A and B are shown apart, each in its own frame.
Chain A
Amino acid sequence: MTDVIRSRHARRQRWLWGAPLWVLALAFLAPFAWMLSTAFKRDADAFTVPMDWIPDRATWDAFGTVLFGESSIVPAFANSVFVAALRVIGEVVTATMAGYAFARIRFAGRDTVFLLYLATAIIPAQLLLVPRFVYFQTLGLYDTLWALILPGMFTVLGTFLMRQFFVSQPAEFAEAARIDGASEWQIFWRIYLPMATPVMSALGILAFVWSWNDYEAPLVLISSPETYTLPLSLSNFTDEQGSLSPSLSMAASAVSIIPVLIVFLVLQKRFVQAMTHTGIK
């Protein structure tokens, strides 16, 4: 009997904090709810007063136009997938190998190179936009997807993340294997790499989100619509007056955030870990 009372008290206690938090959470989601609601409306109904959350005349038209219309986002979506895939693969492979060597192989010049990496790590990407613009023009890579892919494949930050992991792993495995005559590649491939898969997938998630959401680099390095990545193509949906069409731009936005949301929902724990450990978006 007292147990029942106590548990009822505990439940009330939980909701005392829980209820306001849930109200706040719903308010936080309101912009996304608005996005979805507007995506199913006609432009004329977008700004009714009072706001109409579930449209009476709900329609898939906006999604149809955005996906299959004249200025479909599908090619830009494909470009984004291509860029993200190469960046993720490139960054994970090169950062894992380099991070491992910086942590677990002793060689002449290693510490000098590492100092160079340290110095480069604090440089903001925005500072490099002007020289990269000039540089990719001279290389003939301006306005190609390679201008977005190449800098993302070889990163100092990813190397740090991987080095930090390998440094925390015991060196004795490598020493024992060397005595047994294993080659450096075998030591890396058979012993250390299997231990590193969680960190590698965390880095992969980060690389994917950075690549998928990147707006500033394409804004500077891409000019023709065929080469647009998704963030560039989203803001192009205008109505007859030339102002942003609410339904089309919201439908396009909703489609564009699906991949990141899926990765987030499926790999939530690792995702949050990866993002909070680096402090970099």
Chain B
Amino acid sequence: MAVIAPSGAPAAPTPTRTGSTPSVSQPRAWVGWLFIAPNLIGVLLFTLVPLVSVVLLSFTEWNLVSGFGGIDFVGLENFVDVFQDPAFWNSVVLTLVYAGVSVPLTTILGMALGLALNRDVPGRAALRAIFFVPYIVSVVAIGMTWLMLMNPSAGLINQVLGALGLQDAPAWFASSYWALPALIVIAVWSGVGYAAVIYLSALQDAPTQLYEAADLDGAGAWTKFRVITWPSLVPTTVFLLVTLFIGASQGFGLIALITAGGPGDSTTTLPFYMYQTGFQFYRFGYASAIGMVTFLGVLALTLVTWRAQRGRALHD
């Protein structure tokens, strides 16, 4: 469709009202390029070059110390190693547990909160803001606060649990069993308000006439939820499950700050394992391969979820 006029040469005159001015109704090609140039050049330099590099690096063995001359091309060796690496599979399991618990919990609690906030309650706007705040605060401020709240002997959480009569309160980050659940608690606390706000905006579009009709038919609250509300929330739910899952499988900030993957390797999730391999052991090739496998795995899971949801939507 685009009319390409070689710059400098006059474009073929287009028959328009104004007559002889070249390319009146079609801008010249270079104008468009000029608009995207600042962004495009930056994206090429700072995203695309690194992206190509990480793919290339994943086929090499290299630590920074040996300099560029020390880059060894090893073919698929890193990928073979990744799949035979017990530490990698440990991270896969931890990541799946972490995401598999925190994501559905955040979504379900977010939905409950969204439904509650959708009612006419006093101070609704303030409530919405309060629940949203943890989502926008930096992971460092949040992490340090929770680290102290979860202090095994004198932290507020265990004080409350003790007051409730719990004898052996969890040691949280001091325990290789409780460290991952502690991270899950923080993730749910900081994500629930976000999920609730997403559900709220979906609920605003819910069909009011249907509720009125259901009231006339004498339908109960549960029936109304199941028949009217829930179907209109399915797309939102899938959106949240997917985006929260992607987020949970990528972040390592909280782990790097609080646990450094420990105690032992009890919180070494995939993104943290990649970070550790790359920036603590300086094995760039292997770290790139871990990153690539993680990315492709998450991408595959996302596509499967999306297709399943589309298939179901077509069925209904």
| B residues near A131, Cβ cutoff 8 Å | 49-51, 53-54, 57, 288
* Docked pose: A86 CA to B198 CA in angstroms: 30
Q: Which of A90-111 contact B (CB under 8 A)?
A: 90, 93-95, 97-98, 100-102, 105-110
Q: Counting CB contacts under 8 A, is B184 at the interface?
A: no
Assess the B54–A126 pair: CB atoms within 8 A: no
- With known contacts A95-B39, A105-B31, A35–B54 Cβ distance under 8 A: no
| A residues near B117, Cβ cutoff 8 Å | 21
Assess the A234–B141 pair: CB atoms within 8 A: yes
Q: Counting CB contacts under 8 A, is B287 at the interface?
A: yes
Assess the A93–B51 pair: CB atoms within 8 A: no
Residue of B16, B36, B291 near A127 (CB, 8 A) is B291
Assess the A102–B36 pair: CB atoms within 8 A: yes
Q: Counting CB contacts under 8 A, is B98 at the interface?
A: no
Residue of A14, A101, A216 near B32 (CB, 8 A) is A101
Assess the A47–B122 pair: CB atoms within 8 A: no
* Docked pose: A31 CA to B190 CA in angstroms: 11
Q: Counting CB contacts under 8 A, is A169 at the interface?
A: no
- With known contacts A93-B38, A98-B35, A272–B132 Cβ distance under 8 A: yes
* Docked pose: A25 CA to B125 CA in angstroms: 12
Stretch from B87-95, B164-172, B205-213, B272-280 at the A interface: B272-280
Least CB separation from B201: chain A residue: A276
Assess the B122–A51 pair: CB atoms within 8 A: no
Assess the B134–A113 pair: CB atoms within 8 A: no
Q: Counting CB contacts under 8 A, is A179 at the interface?
A: yes
Secondary structure type dominating chain A contacts: helix
Least CB separation from B62: chain A residue: A134
| B residues near A30, Cβ cutoff 8 Å | 156
* Docked pose: A276 CA to B136 CA in angstroms: 12
Q: Counting CB contacts under 8 A, is B222 at the interface?
A: no
Please, what's the 1-or-0 string for A177-198, where 1 marks a CB less than 8 Å from any CB in chain B?
Answer: 0110100100010000000000
Residue of A48, A155, A276 near B198 (CB, 8 A) is A276
Assess the B38–A154 pair: CB atoms within 8 A: yes
Stretch from B73-81, B175-183, B225-233, B252-260 at the A interface: B252-260
- For the complex, count residues of B whose C-beta is within 8 A of A: 101
Assess the B119–A17 pair: CB atoms within 8 A: yes
Q: Counting CB contacts under 8 A, is B138 at the interface?
A: yes
* Docked pose: A4 CA to B299 CA in angstroms: 59
Secondary structure type dominating chain B contacts: helix
Residue of A151, A212, A257, A275 near B47 (CB, 8 A) is A151
Name the distance in Å between A277's Cβ and chain B's nearest Cβ: 9
Residue of B36, B136, B194 near A260 (CB, 8 A) is B136
| A residues near B257, Cβ cutoff 8 Å | 215, 235
Please, what's the 1-or-0 string for A204-224, where 1 marks a CB less than 8 Å from any CB in chain B?
Answer: 000001001101100110000
Q: Counting CB contacts under 8 A, is B154 at the interface?
A: yes
| A residues near B25, Cβ cutoff 8 Å | 175, 178-179
Q: Counting CB contacts under 8 A, is B235 at the interface?
A: no
* Docked pose: A156 CA to B271 CA in angstroms: 22
Assess the B284–A15 pair: CB atoms within 8 A: no
Least CB separation from B50: chain A residue: A131
| B residues near A15, Cβ cutoff 8 Å | 122
Assess the A130–B42 pair: CB atoms within 8 A: no
| A residues near B147, Cβ cutoff 8 Å | 244
Assess the B35–A101 pair: CB atoms within 8 A: yes
Please, what's the 1-or-0 string for B220-247, where 1 marks a CB less than 8 Å from any CB in chain A?
Answer: 0000000000000000000100010011
Q: Counting CB contacts under 8 A, is A84 at the interface?
A: no
Q: Counting CB contacts under 8 A, is A225 at the interface?
A: no
Least CB separation from B284: chain A residue: A130
Assess the B253–A34 pair: CB atoms within 8 A: no
Q: Which of A20-76 contact B (CB under 8 A)?
A: 21-22, 25, 28-32, 34-35, 38, 46-51
Residue with the highest number of chain B CB atoms closer than 10 Å, among A116, A128, A156:
A128
Least CB separation from A244: chain B residue: B144
| A residues near B48, Cβ cutoff 8 Å | 116, 120
- With known contacts A101-B32, A151-B46, A134–B295 Cβ distance under 8 A: no
| B residues near A97, Cβ cutoff 8 Å | 35-36, 38-39
Q: What are 22 A-B pairs at a CB distance below 8 A?
A: A25-B127, A49-B159, A106-B1, A107-B30, A107-B32, A108-B29, A109-B29, A113-B36, A126-B291, A127-B54, A129-B278, A130-B278, A134-B57, A154-B47, A178-B24, A178-B25, A178-B27, A188-B35, A215-B138, A216-B253, A219-B256, A275-B194
Shortest 4 CB-CB distances between A and B: which pairs? A154-B42, A107-B32, A101-B35, A47-B154
The chain A residues found within 8 Å of chain B, CB to CB, are: 14-15, 17-18, 21-22, 25, 28-32, 34-35, 38, 46-51, 90, 93-95, 97-98, 100-102, 105-110, 113, 116-117, 120, 122-135, 137, 150-151, 153-156, 159, 175, 178-179, 181, 184, 188, 209, 212-213, 215-216, 219-220, 230-231, 234-235, 244, 246, 249-250, 253-254, 256-257, 260-261, 264-265, 268, 271-272, 275-276, 279-281
